[in-house]
Amino acid sequence: MGLETLSIEHVPASHRVHIAYFTDVSNAGFLQSQLLARNPDFEYAFIDATSTVSRVHVLAAVYKALTLLLAGNLKTPNVHSEIVCALSNTTNISESFRRWGITPATRDIIVVKVVCPKDGDPSTTADEPGNIWAHLVRNVQGMPAALTDEEIAKSTDWPKVRRYYKLNAVPGVEACKTDEEKAEEMKVLVLAGMALRGV
């Protein structure tokens, strides 16, 4: 439990990804206000964990956003907002922020920080992991948790996920006999929806 640094295949080592998970957050309104004010100290992707279904779901969004960043094709102001939008199965940016971004009522938050080289110099990067974690602990009033499928499952709001990804009355889901089978089928369909967005 803490800040996890990830290596993502096919992404240059100069682009580092740090990820953390907080539950029972009591100051999501403050965090959202910092995002809306475009405070550079709060340049993170803050994701409402109730709209996520697995670790792979989150990492797929990170990879998609990094791919767009590296290709110079971001559709939002920065890679962090692109991560939130990449979770969506539609191209509507404001809807993506409403559904996967945080609100003052958000209690469980996944935080992603992408550290990129500055000015084309790969040796010049933003904060180191220790500084990022210290900043998060100072500013996120919540309990750190491990970003695992088991922990995410405690937060997932399946009726919301079904509505957002249009999974109600999908034959493949309805044919499943147990809740566990339905959840696994929906996880696959969520990733498919993300992959097909805009196609």
CA count, 13 A, side-chain hemisphere, 11 = 23
pLDDT for res 124: 41
**pTM beyond 0.85, yes or no:** yes
Query: In b/e form, how buried is each residue of 150-182, taking b as 16+ CB within 10 angstroms?
Result: ebbeebbbeeebbebbebeeeeebeeeeeeeeb
Query: In which band, very low, low, confident or very high, does the pLDDT at 199 lie, cut at 50, 70 and 90?
Result: very low
Say what the pLDDT of residue 174 is.
Answer: 83
Q: Which two tokens stand for residue 16?
A: 């580092």
| Least confident span in 34-38, 77-81, 125-129, 163-167 | 125-129
How do residues 121-169 score in pLDDT, each as one tens digit?
544 444 689 999 999 999 999 999 999 999 999 999 999 999 999 998 8
* Domains, in order of start, for the chain: 4-155 (3.30.2380.10)
pLDDT at 197 over 80: no
- Tell me the pLDDT band of 96, cut-offs 50, 70 and 90: very high
Secondary structure, 3-state, 8-26? CCCCCCCCEEEEEEEECCC
% of the chain at pLDDT higher than 90: 75
Q: What is the pLDDT of residue 119?
A: 52
Partners of 110 in beta bridges: 21, 47
CB 166 within 8 A of CB 58: no
